[in-house]
Homo-oligomer: A and B are copies of this chain.
């Protein structure tokens, strides 16, 4: 069953990186003006800002902070590097708490100098290590499986099944999953794993964009919903069947769109959200 068309923006969230040329203050102002209701804040957008004041600015403009993006990158062959990663995740939890973000998205990481199995173990151990602090701060951690083309250095968690398995293993209401259509659309097990994610009450986030045909860059060539080959609405239908009623988060990295006037791009996002998502 495909989802119904989206007729209002009450569930639209946009990641700050999507409109990267804008400062966070510009993004907040423009999102708010157009009726966008949620924002996911990338940490680079916070450079030099006071976290609390930025959080207040966002809320005063009628936007919900959906998540802080991103923690993770736990694996490293060297112990010292793993320690640095843990410290950085602890810092992210503090930042999320100050900002008033209820969740951190984890891009889990991978170290090409060791096996994927070792990286996966270090991811699990890393999350377990910072989990008490996250719980104490009331911050949820969302494991985001990344496309297998990022298995070398960005994530050893490459399917929703793996993310679900890890969330089940960690067994905490503060650990769940962020499902991004860009990373998962090709997976024949996607429908069943989204269902399973819902049954475990750990579908924490849903990210949308599209896969351009052809795709010309491993990172910076994501498409706007409807431009590529991902059945975004069909996947949203599976997500809604779990009872998910959170935000649909537009996360697009695109040198092409970053070169555009960002107000025009925002209008394109809103149109694509309503008509193609």
Name A158-196 residues within 8 Å CB distance of B. Answer: 158-159, 162, 185-188
Report A's interface with B, CB cutoff 8 A. Answer: 112-113, 115-116, 147-149, 151-153, 158-159, 162, 185-188, 211, 213-215, 218, 228-229, 231
Task: Determine chain A's interface SS by DSSP, over half rule.
Answer: loop
How far is it, in angstroms, between the C-alpha of A144 and the C-alpha of B240 when the chains are bound?
Answer: 34
Interface centre among A162, A187, A188, A214 (most CB of B within 10 A): A188
How far is it, in angstroms, between the C-alpha of A112 and the C-alpha of B115 when the chains are bound?
Answer: 33
Contacts of A149 in B (CB 8 A): 147-149, 215
How far is it, in angstroms, between the C-alpha of A46 and the C-alpha of B228 when the chains are bound?
Answer: 35
A269 to chain B, nearest CB (A): 22
The reply to whether B229 and A152 contact each other, CB–CB distance below 8 Å, is yes
Given contacts A149-B149, A186-B151, A112 and B213 within 8 Å (CB-CB): yes
Contacts of A115 in B (CB 8 A): 231
The reply to whether A211 and B152 contact each other, CB–CB distance below 8 Å, is yes
Interface centre among A148, A153, A211, A231 (most CB of B within 10 A): A148
Contacts of A153 in B (CB 8 A): 213-214
